[in-house]
Chain A
Amino acid sequence: MLIVVLANSCKKEDPLNVDFSQYNIDNPVANTALDKWLTTTFLDEYNIDVIYRYNRFYHGDDRDVAAVKVDKVQAQMQTVLEGFILPYRKIAGTAFIKKMVPKQFVLFGSGSYNPDNSYTLATAAAGRNITIYAVNDFNVNAPGDVVGKLKTIHHEFTHTLNQIVPMPDDFQLITKSTYLATWTTTSDATARDNGYVTPYASSQPGEDFAETVSHLLAFGQAWFDARANSSTAVGKAALKAKEASVVQYFTNMGIDFRALQMEVQNIVRNQYKYQQASFRYWMGQNLFKTMTINLEDGIYAANGISSDFATPYNTFKAAVLAYSSTQKYHLDYIQLRFESATILTVRAAFSNATTQYFGDYSFNYTVNTTSGAVTFIKVANGTGTTFNNGTLFTSSFTNTIQAYLTGKTFVADWLPSTITSANYNSYGGFYLQGTPTNNFYGLLGQTL
């Protein structure tokens, strides 16, 4: 079951004045185009019965629930298909999804209102049914709405999985002392600090598990990491332990969770264009503190690196080596260190046979979280040992790396596009605005 808290708002509504003679009370038309689409897409392929015609039986007689608007059905079910069924089908296999997918989807228009100032978004039952409420407020043009609905579906399907393969015991113990059924009175900050993705997750372990899975899949790893980073030390450890438990649960079922996450995120990022799943958004949030580039790493052989960046990098590397014939410094990596939302330190890590040194150069940077435009501006270096180290190579740095970074407008994006699921969440980069082939990318870190 997935439930949200109601906002405490007082919306004034005009008095209802409806002339019922103008309405067809009920005139179901059989075998419409929608019915055919549902039949071929879901019934024939997956043996899923999609029930959208109003039937009180499916929501119980203690609730008042509105029927779904017919024109919302296809959009909702399209999301189910592309954001949930197909990613599972690709990663977990056709046999898995055909067996496990709930055989009945029931759609309702309004939420199912609970007495505790909340309403139910969806329920999963018996490993065979998912009922989705509040479909009428589904706005296919609002990425947030679409991803929110997608999260709900993943939440419910996790319940379905749990109803067939029980969730791990260790998960239930991670924050065992802070579950409270009165979650509507738990603030988001309290839930976060106690190690939950949402207040609803703090209601009980089963919901916690489903919320953790659905947020990892639909909102992505960056969202999850940002949540963990903003929590307390204990809360962060709990969230990361829950993530590990979730990954293990899927591994035990023979599903590569990271591949599944990548598959769902590709839809969220590329098809739904969900702003909060973009690299530029998280750059703006200063989630990623470091980007480390070492062109000797195999990732660059596997995914390629544009020569526009490789040339200055290698030129600088040669200059570092040439600096001292006795020390023979080797450039280990270049690291972009985003100290704050505006301050950037570019670090060259270099080593002789025994010791690694850091040479630092100060920059400012700007990020436009909407367009993704990023600019780097050289400013006077800071002071200290690392900055002194940097002065050893000032002239070559100025002519290579600094020359490449400054005076241009880059766009922040998840790069490289050919990344595999193992590294999916840990690489990002920048490309030259208007020239995507001119780019560089590196390993992301969340601590300085």
Chain B
Amino acid sequence: MKLNKIHILLFGLGVMFSTQSCNKYLDTEPDNRTQINTVEKVAQLVTTAYPGRDYYYFAESASDNAEDKGNGVGGLDDVISRPYNWQDVIGDATGSTTSYWNSCYEAIAAANQALEAIEKQNLGNAVLPYKGEALVARAYAHFMLVTFFSKVYTIGGANDSPGIPYVTAPETKVIVQYDRGTVKSTYEKIEKDLVEGMALLSASAYSVPKYHFTPAAAHAFASRFYLFKGEWQKVIDESSATVPGGDFFNNLRPVNSTYRSAGTEDFRTMFTRSDQKSTLLLTEQYSGWQRQTSPRYGYGINMVKMFSAAGNFTGKPRADKILSYGVPHYTTYKFKEYFHRTSPGADIGFPYLIAPLLTVDESLLNRAEAYAQLGQFDNALRDMNIFLSTKISNYSASSDAATLPKITAFYSISDPKEVIIKLILESKKAEFLQEGLRWLDIIRHGLTVRHNKYDALGRETFDDLGPTDLRRVFQIPQEALLSNVPQNPR
């Protein structure tokens, strides 16, 4: 990048300088910044086009995956307590909505920078997989933003409520003004990037593919996207494409086999490792979520029941690891911290976790739901049985398979579509506990979230977050007001 603007400016001001000398001086880069001028550099840049912060804190805490464990029980932390009470998180602390917002736009900025370089430099066909990755990554970050910070997409609705700024060019000014557009326009741009990007992806372009949008990962993202849009056949097609040969059984999280028989530390090491078949997209995120061992609001004594024999229709418990940091502070123990030391001689550095953002498990559940929406109940139940056969302790295909009568009796819901979807959502809730995905189902299905609250005298009351509650949309950071991005109504 040449600094022509500065040159012109100086020329206008400086009658004492000759243009010649000025040119020579400005022909040299004032710093040793990288020029994105090779395929390798583009590839490396796109590696940073993923959100470097997590949505776990606020998505989990605001959802029905959290409960008040009691007055004086556990620790209080604003980034958990405020979402639990459906209050806006103030500041940009680790785990805040603002930090996630910023990390998404940082990812988008990296994607845009890469796309601009691809456009300006003639890098040939070899760069196309990374162009595809940048486009899909840009679509993903915007999709997660519109999911958390705008009203949920209404299938068949006008979707004219404000979306989020869809940024497609690198910022060259300190403060750029943006328009939120609408949810509809945001979705259109996401879909455009997604479709265009997916066509260019390659599975073999990476040394560690799980940290990139491979075709399988992009299919998983598309499956999630079309589930929100209600395009059921596309959900089925995209989900099916996440595994080779349609073999979901061998690509799901082996909860009742490998994970169950592993020791707890082995399990934690294994869970976010890149060799896990179910994991389709991993990102390292600066986070303290794995350190939140004993929050007052979180995975407690009522939540843990979802794993028990009474928690599902088979009458057998799920085989998940259940650990506690002293009852009632339970943990799924999914996240092993990667501590990046900034000094080899001292115990200081940055805590990271490795986040499995997209999985085969989610895709299969998405497909089951799409089948149910299309009235293909047999297909939906078949998918659920594949899923449950890897989760339930001592699963027996003959006695534990989901059938309509069994789940109807268990959930006391007579409508077949409704009861199958209930089973899917409950299964997803348990599978992805402490991974933030429950919130997506809550807004997508308009589920009411009920939170208990203990007062200082130990009396328990309940608050509901209904489907139309404005607090279901997380608040946009105040800093965004500078760019003319209005706050969400409260």
Contact = CB atoms under 8 A, between A and B. Distances in A.
B202 interface: no
A431 interface: no
A61 B296 CA distance: 14
Interface in A174-194: 176-177, 179-182, 185
A177 B330 CA distance: 17
B301 A179 contact: no
A203 interface: yes
Nearest to B70: A62
Nearest to A173: B263
Contact of A115 (B69, B262, B307, B323): B69
Interface in B290-334: 300-301, 304, 307-308, 321-324, 326-328, 330
B308 A176 contact: no
A60 B70 CA distance: 13
B328 A116 contact: yes
A289 B429 CA distance: 52
A1 interface: yes
Contact of B71 (A62, A172, A179): A62
A118 interface: yes
Contact of B266 (A61, A118, A176, A185): A176
A185 B330 CA distance: 15
Interface string A104-136: 000000000011101000000000000000000
Contacts of B322: 180-182
Contact of B72 (A61, A118, A173, A181): A61
A107 to B, nearest CB: 21
* Majority secondary structure of chain B interface residues (helix, strand, loop or mixed): loop
B260 interface: yes
B324 A114 contact: no
A181 B327 contact: yes
Contacts of A61: 72
Interface residues of B, number: 24
B293 to A, nearest CB: 12
B261 interface: yes
B264 A1 contact: no
* Majority secondary structure of chain A interface residues (helix, strand, loop or mixed): loop
B413 interface: no
A181 B323 contact: yes
A204 interface: yes
Interface residues of A, number: 21
Contact of B263 (A115, A172, A181, A203): A172
A209 to B, nearest CB: 14
Contacts of A179: 264, 321, 323
Nearest to B309: A185
Contacts of A1: 326
B327 A118 contact: yes
Interface in B199-223: none
Nearest to B304: A182
A169 to B, nearest CB: 10
Contacts of A116: 301, 327-328
Interface in A137-191: 172-173, 176-177, 179-182, 185
Contacts of A185: 308
A93 to B, nearest CB: 33
Nearest to A117: B301
Contact of A177 (B73, B263, B307, B326): B263
Interface string B247-265: 0000000000000111110
A445 B323 CA distance: 39
Interface in B52-73: 69-73
16 contacts: A61-B72, A115-B328, A116-B301, A116-B327, A176-B262, A176-B264, A176-B266, A177-B260, A179-B323, A180-B322, A181-B322, A181-B323, A185-B308, A203-B324, A204-B324, A205-B264
Given A3-B327, A181-B323, 5 more contacts: A62-B72, A118-B327, A176-B263, A179-B264, A182-B304
Interface of A: 1, 3, 60-62, 114-116, 118, 172-173, 176-177, 179-182, 185, 203-205
